[in-house]
Chains A and B, each alone.
Chain A
Amino acid sequence: MSVDETEPAAVGDLPGRRRLVVLVVGAVFWTWLLTRWIYHNAALDRIFSTLGLPGLIRSEVPVRDREPWLSPEPFASAADSVASFGHGSGLPEVATGWLVWLCDLLAFSIESAPALAEGAYVTVYLTVVSILLGLAIAVPLSVARVYGGTVLGRLSLAYTELIRGTPLLAQLFLLYYGLPLASVIESLGFVGSGWVPGPAAFVAIVGFTINSSAYQSEYIRSALQSVDEKQLVAARSVGLSKWAGIRHVVLPQGLRYAIPGWTNEFVYLIKYSSLAAFITVSELFGRAENIVTDTFRTTDVYVILALFYLALVLTTALAMERVAASVAIPGVGQPDGDR
């Protein structure tokens, strides 16, 4: 498949005012999220306990029993008062209905927040670990494809085509339900106890890593190919070997061309990590599903969930932009705005 299967503009440009909104909301969001994670982190709890501060971090509180930090009461009662005002004043349902729903939604999101935060933790570490591991595989994969000669090149191509030509969900199912991978991991003993995630999460990471490596190798391949051949020629004429030339001249430039692709990949993984729920991982989507079965408030939960993912995605996209700007070299791999 010669068509470059990259998703165009992951999120798109954010014009001035909206960008500001995202930045502000994002800052508040992440402050809360990080505090939640730290507050319930088992590893940190152990550290602080040995330091003589056992009460600082509460990792032993199970998710179900965690209390929200903000009280949902004001919003719930606001909803009630708007509702009764609406009935009493005789205004049509439409006028006050949406406001009641909004206040209710706010109260509900506050109640669900602790569980969602825990899910988000899993989502984020699934994403980050998979991208990094995927990158480690993708670089040699793409170098093999571009510089490896016919056999290596074809192998690399076959791997990439196969992974990119089949759905991620099917790949996850294959790994988790089709292969005995989960039980093999479980037999490793340390899995599932303490702060080590269960076997399902490991399988998810394997699945995402393989998937991500295929896509990342495509981004890197096209980035490597957009570095002018003459650069390598110049490197060799200075005396560098082919591999040294690739390492010191082609890759540093090529990897910068690949930055827009990475932003895409990051955003893609954050969104598609939701599929891990289908192999029993309790990440964000999975937690939301639990709330649905508990409360039956499907629409509300999914709306809050969508907004949560949006917060993760948009803040990531902005952060990646910063990263790109800070490593930018004039004239090398400037994003053309469309990817």
Chain B
Amino acid sequence: MIETASEAGTSIVGMLQADAGSLLSLGGRTAGVLQVSDWAFVATNWEYLLAGTVVTMLLTITSLSLGFLAGFPAGAIEVYSSGRLSDVVSTFGVLLRGTPIVVLVVLVHFGLPLPRFGSIPWLEVDLTAFLSATLALGLRSGAYQSQVFRGAIQSIDDGQLAAARSVGMSSRQAIRHVVFPQALRRSLPGFQNEFTIVLKDTSIAFAIGLAELLTRAENLYLQPGQGTAVLEVILTITAIYFVLTFVTNRSLEAIHRRYSIPGGTE
């Protein structure tokens, strides 16, 4: 435990102590100004940043998937079961939604006895950190997705359930064939929302040293002599994030349009 704790000590405090003063002026060159030499520095490290982008995307996808797998049943449970199970699920939901994601990520990474994996070649990512980040981001996303799903289920007119039952379907069949298909479709906007949120929040993995985009940005400008490139590096990764969220949203919207029921509000 001491090992991980001291890791905690150095990685986060180290970053907290990143001396703002010394970054701002470096031997005559200044940081707040855009310079060609700094852009060149960014350009030379394109592969490093690309790997970071890939890690960010991977993390987003794994977290969202976990979120869906956890959130979908959680939402259904909150609607359809009463009693202990539903209470437990909703309490977990409140806990996950009420705690800052940073706290969740460090809690998972330093608090849970996770197995120590190695790292992946080329991507050079610490798998344990990746797992912690996925768990934290995924479970939190699941807590939000459960609410989306719950709302979608509840928005489906009771009458359709009555119709399904009067044709002889059991409650379970009615829910499975009439409620869920429509609820899933109605959850799409909320899911799309979650995608962007999780994508941006992968930057939180910075706190546990996962080599995603933001961490790599810092690694670049903290290299000796590269302090003036801070602005260029951060602008670059900000642009990358923007492109990612933009493209993702447009694609999801296109998919949504393609699969929507004509004339329906789904």
Contacts and interface: CB of A to CB of B under 8 A. Distances in A.
The answer to whether any beta carbons of A and B sit under 8 Å apart in the complex is: yes
Contacts of A171: 238
A292 interface: yes
Given A278-B16, A280-B20, A170 B214 contact: yes
Contact of B100 (A8, A9, A279, A309): A309
Given A169-B203, A293-B13, A298-B111, A11 B98 contact: yes
A284 B245 CA distance: 30
Interface in B145-190: 147-148, 151, 154, 189-190
Given A183-B24, A309-B103, A338 B189 contact: no
A178 to B, nearest CB: 4
Given A12-B90, A166-B200, A179 B231 contact: yes
A12 B94 contact: yes
A309 B98 contact: yes
Contact of B147 (A12, A180, A278): A12
B128 to A, nearest CB: 15
A178 B20 CA distance: 10
A286 B246 CA distance: 32
B4 interface: yes
B58 to A, nearest CB: 16
Given A8-B147, A14-B94, A167-B203, A306 B107 contact: yes
Interface in A102-136: none
A1 B31 contact: no
Chief secondary structure at chain B's binding surface: helix
A302 interface: yes
Nearest to A295: B5
A277 interface: yes
Contacts of B214: 167, 169-170, 173
B66 interface: no
B234 interface: yes
Interface residues of A, number: 62
Interface string B231-266: 100110110011001100110110000000000000
A329 B240 CA distance: 45
Given A9-B147, A178-B231, A292-B9, A165 B245 contact: yes
Contact of A278 (B32, B206, B238): B206
Nearest to A306: B99
A7 interface: yes
Interface in B123-154: 144, 147-148, 151, 154
Contacts of B252: 3
A190 interface: no
Contacts of B94: 11-12, 14, 18, 310, 314
B193 interface: yes
User: Which of A1, A177, A298, A302 is most buried by chain B, counting CB atoms within 10 A of its CB?
Assistant: A177
B65 interface: no
Interface of A: 1-12, 14-15, 18, 161-162, 164-171, 173-174, 176-180, 182-183, 200, 267, 271-272, 274-275, 277-280, 285-286, 289, 292-293, 296-299, 302-303, 305-306, 309-310, 313-314, 338
30 contacts: A3-B249, A6-B193, A9-B151, A12-B97, A164-B196, A167-B202, A170-B203, A170-B217, A170-B234, A170-B241, A173-B217, A174-B231, A177-B23, A178-B31, A178-B234, A179-B32, A182-B20, A271-B101, A272-B100, A275-B102, A277-B102, A278-B207, A293-B9, A298-B106, A299-B111, A302-B107, A306-B95, A306-B107, A309-B103, A314-B94
